[in-house]
Amino acid sequence: MKAIVIDKTEDAQRVSLKEHEGFGAPGDGQVCVAVEYSTINYKDALAISGASPVVRSFPLIPGIDFAGTVTDSAHEKWQRGDRVLLNGWGVGEAHNGGLAQQACVSGDWLQSIPDAFDSRSAMAIGTAGYTASLCVDALVNHGLEPDSGPVLVTGASGGVGSLAIALLSAAGYTVTAVTGKTAEESYLRALGAREILDRAELGELGKPLQKERWSGVVDAVGGATLANACAQTSYRGAVAACGLAQSMKFPSTVMPFILRGVTLYGIDSVMAPMRVRELAWARLARDLDIRHLDAVISEISLAESIRKAGDVLSGAHRGRFLVDVN
């Protein structure tokens, strides 16, 4: 089978498309999957480029998500022919991942592809869309209603941001999108954003408490943007923080939390319990208009994924890279 393989020699990291011997029969509890689609998530781009120590064992096949068909199962839940997807669980970091034509993983980590999707649309959504859905679930469970006020989405033209806009708008929320790519205004409006803000407006750290503007926030970028978003969140509002595209720092004060009762939710997709994942995918199946996905994705081959990782890190791309591994 073909696979992207990351290897480390001395201090240098090497990434190449290789002919891989495959994994043979699955061990106890394992399931082998003929992968059809994977994606280049921000974390995959970090792994492929070596920009951050994402990979914890070498050699390793990257790819934190995939969708495909079970070919062989030693797990009671799954049979040959089942249509499955996987997000996270350390796959593509500590375990071989989805940027290959075959994957063999614990059956406990797999989910059925919802009926609303095929393997291509499931990965067009991918971990970014599933994470966006976790963020929206956090805000909705907090008690945010569509008439509570506008919801801010940062990193708007990226994978998480694009799908958060689509989901929030489908659920009736009024969305303001923050982007560094103001040329993408029509794309963001087509996804459902009502207002567009230039990233520069939130990029520099402002006062600890600012004018109350947002009932909720989905933040994919961290840094000063997240601190300003918290400082602009209305009384008893909520912020779902999932990313660090601007910075891993959080240069905030306690003021929004102790004077306005703002709640900051941390969103992790990797180790989220299965019930939480199922609810997030159920929201996607129910609310997402899959016609949006054509605008969100650029489809690439396995061979192209190495080069495209650089585009993801530079933040120059729009939406997501969907990888047809075959």
Which residues of the chain form contacts with ligand NDP (CB under 6 A)? 41-43, 127-128, 131, 155-161, 179-181, 199, 220-221, 225, 242-246, 267-270, 312, 315
Element spanning 320, H or E: strand 320-324
**Nearer of residues 124 and 242 to ligand NDP, judged by Cβ:** 242
Which residue lies nearest ligand NDP, judged by its C-beta? 158
CB of 286 to ligand NDP, least distance (A): 21
Our CB check for ligand NDP shows the closer of 70 and 284 to be 284
As a whole number of angstroms, the distance between CA 120 and CA 323 comes to 9
- Give bridge partners of residue 247 from the DSSP assignment: 222
Shortest CB 28 distance to ligand NDP, Å: 29
Identity of the residue, 122 or 267, whose beta carbon is nearer to ligand NDP in the bound complex: 267
Please enumerate in sequence order all residues whose Cβ is within 8 A of that of 110, keeping only pairs 6 or more positions apart, or say none: 31, 33, 70, 77, 78, 84, 85, 86
Least distance to ligand NDP, CB of residue 8, Å: 22
Q: Characterize the bridge pairing of strands 193-198 and 151-153.
A: unpaired
User: Residue 126 CB, nearest distance to ligand NDP (Å)?
Assistant: 8
Using an 8 Å Cβ cutoff, are 218 and 240 in contact?
A: yes
Taking a C-beta distance cutoff of 8 angstroms, is the pair 102, 275 a contact?
no
Task: Choose between 244 and 323: whose C-beta lies nearer to ligand NDP.
Answer: 244
C-alpha to C-alpha distance for 20 and 3, rounded to whole angstroms: 6
How far is the C-alpha of 298 from the C-alpha of 284, rounded, in Å? 20
What is the nearest approach in angstroms of ligand NDP to the Cβ of residue 191? 11
Comparing CB distances to ligand NDP, the nearer of 4 and 242 is 242
